[in-house]
Structure 1
């Protein structure tokens, strides 16, 4: 076929198009969601007498890939083992990132990892340095198998006492992967989550151990393991570990104080179960979407507490969502620096670069804007539902947590689309989406005159 000069020029321009890592990550996640939706609609994925529309299948797949846990149809009673396995694979790939698995497949096939693949893996895993990224991917995969395997074994031993061994193994594997990836999917049936195990120490401790580890981030876990006994952690690891411990402790105590007299949640439980449930519900909002008490019966102050925890989220480079705990901590440092009238943001004799301060501010403002916009749109589309419940749903979707006050199954078509968009942005990160939609950065050599404005 012959092409004229104009057509040849257009072809050359098309061949020169290069996608940035954020764009490739966004496209990759979209492809996984669409493929997962089609698989969930297959007859082999659904139990007899069950059916699912494309929109609902798209919602389920989005929730799985974005490791959220919000569902419009009950996972345990709607999907067969095949359908649940599809969801589990989407959770695993979505939690670790498709680039991680892409590098794994390339290594298994003996192919060389290209520079572009390394750059995309670096972006997906939120790393500063490109060196050692393939080694990090290997360590992450091994660590994931070890942690999920240990969790599955402990859950299997617990559930083998009340169900056949084969099902106990399956339940153990499913909930271990779901918990470590902070997905919050369960197959207990009837939207019950873990309410039947509110007093089970083994189930509560194993699940919380898994989702807390997943929320810490692979970089933090590897550094802690590699430096056992040395206590010479990087600033990032020290902030994540310290802030996580403090936030979990404060949240658990507050939940206990706010709900201990509520007969519909903690009030009717023995003291030991109250403490266990408070610990579980105090730590779970920043990461996974499990619950051991009926969230629809919570006091309004407890709901606000959980919304704040969901918005903060877990650690950068983890399977958790939200603005991330390091972002929140950095914002507090900025406020403290301004109050003390200091020029540099410092912590533990280290100075934080100003570009990270701007990044934290951008992530937080975009997150606030998204949650507000999502809540506003849900208030418009979901007439008859309380605003508090809708705002809770929006924060849960953005934070990829998966907790709900009973709103998700009753969402309209537009409501489902809004929640899907929030889950997608929350999983990839608001800044990643913003960068994917913009051109490459460039520094302008033009400097404009400075002028002050009144603020505060």
Structure 2
């Protein structure tokens, strides 16, 4: 059996792991070339690997400043990795296949189903077409707004380039920037804040939700949103509202963050810091200067993350809402989890619990290991680890100080967070065999 045949016999999760790993490897090679740095000196291999992983996994954690260290070629490599990583390599491959009028095989549809986290194969290629339209359309709109605003601070050509780079970065929830301090110079700017929040939230909602909203708005026959869309929109609204309130209250008197801003600036900054932990990575306030209560709350938001089928990471909003629904149902003494008059299937509940526990175990384990190898405060290590897993990119300043082992561990967390712990488990595990029998039911005491 030749290598090509073996590759096509791999399961969809293994193909996704192999595909993302290949892109990261290619990015590592390109970023380690002398042409990628502004000084002409090659970037150390481990730093190139870290940066390529961060870009492909749309995280935004950096060991060198993107705007000053990398040349135009290096920045374009990073931008390409962000775009491929955010939309998914299979999505991009499908785009080229559609342009060339190539038929999408059943196996390719199965891989797309896994990549987009869809329940069924129905309409998967049609969804990919919509993904491309929504993604590039939103990025173009964001780039135009950014360019017009940046043109007040820099020449036109640079403003256009900065606009494109930051629109792609924020829509894909990557968090890479060319300013060196993210968007802290625009903390009170309503245009930059509004455009950034729109890009982040749109990229984090998930393409299925965007498609559902557009179809509902366009069609006079389709008037009802799907259960998935309702749950995602509800979770997003709750997390952003609560997050804004928490940041506003905890940081109101902090002279290093909100304290020096006027009321409008405080509201914009609080809203931005509530949105960005949902895996975006950009910031308008210094994360290291936030109070510990705010930093810990942001860890929770980073752990929850964005929504399924989006450019973001985390355990996902639907997983979080399923767990909340389970708590409410148990407290009320009810057997089923009901949302918007729909009962959730048992396999969805098991999957939510499994993803949450796997993610918690991974973050705790890596944080414990890094606390032994990195000489820094535990909260800083936990923040960095969760940020990497949630593909967020926010940092309290630890990234540049990581040891060689620390960079490898954080790179592993970014890779796992982008693919999802369950996908990685399926990829590494043995092929599932159908059970031919069931064991007798037993009972244990819980609680």
Deviations 1:288-321 (A, max 9, x none): 0011111111111001110000000010110110
Q: Report the equivalent of 1:60.
A: 51
Q: Report the equivalent of 1:165.
A: 156
DSSP 3-state at the match of 1:285:
coil
Q: Report the equivalent of 1:338.
A: 330
Gap runs ≥5 in structure 1: 1-9
Once structures 1 and 2 are overlaid, which stretch shifts more, 248-257 or 103-112? 103-112
State how 1:30-429 maps to structure 2 within 5 Å: 30-48=21-39, 50-189=41-180, 192-228=181-217, 231-383=223-375, 385-429=376-420
Following superposition, the deviation at residue 441 of structure 1 comes to 2.2
Following superposition, the deviation at residue 15 of structure 1 comes to 5.3
**Distance 1:349-1:75 versus aligned 2 partners, 3 A rule:** same
DSSP 3-state at the match of 2:276:
helix
Once structures 1 and 2 are overlaid, which stretch shifts more, 264-273 or 334-343? 334-343
Q: Decide whether the 8 Å contact of 1:313 with 1:321 is kept in 2.
A: yes
Give the whole-Å Cα distance in 1 for the aligned partners of 2:345 and 2:311: 25
Give the whole-Å Cα distance in 2 for the aligned partners of 1:382 and 1:16: 39
Give the whole-Å Cα distance in 2 for the aligned partners of 1:270 and 1:350: 45
Question: If you compute each CA radius of gyration, which structure gives the higher value, 1 or 2?
Answer: 1
DSSP 3-state at the match of 2:391:
coil
DSSP 3-state at the match of 1:455:
coil
Deviations 1:23-73 (A, max 9, x none): 000000000000001111112111026541000000000000000000111
Q: Report the TM-score, using the length of structure 2 for normalisation.
A: 0.97
Give the whole-Å Cα distance in 2 for the aligned partners of 1:364 and 1:172: 36
Give the whole-Å Cα distance in 2 for the aligned partners of 1:375 and 1:52: 27
Deviations 1:241-293 (A, max 9, x none): 11101110110011000001000111111111111100100111012001111
Give the whole-Å Cα distance in 2 for the aligned partners of 1:76 and 1:59: 16
Deviations 1:379-429 (A, max 9, x none): 01102x100000000000000000000000000000001101110010011
DSSP 3-state at the match of 2:9:
coil
Deviations 1:118-177 (A, max 9, x none): 111111011112122111111111111110000000000000011010000000000000
DSSP 3-state at the match of 2:239:
helix
Q: Decide whether the 8 Å contact of 1:119 with 1:130 is kept in 2.
A: yes
Q: Decide whether the 8 Å contact of 1:398 with 1:425 is kept in 2.
A: yes
Q: Decide whether the 8 Å contact of 1:393 with 1:404 is kept in 2.
A: yes
How many positions carry a matched residue from both structures?
Answer: 444
Q: Decide whether the 8 Å contact of 2:33 with 2:43 is kept in 1.
A: no
Following superposition, the deviation at residue 108 of structure 1 comes to 2.0
RMSD over aligned CA atoms reads 1.6
Q: Decide whether the 8 Å contact of 1:118 with 1:130 is kept in 2.
A: yes
Q: Decide whether the 8 Å contact of 2:139 with 2:164 is kept in 1.
A: yes
Following superposition, the deviation at residue 449 of structure 1 comes to 2.8
DSSP 3-state at the match of 1:453:
coil
Gap runs ≥5 in structure 2: none
Give the whole-Å Cα distance in 1 for the aligned partners of 2:259 and 2:42: 39
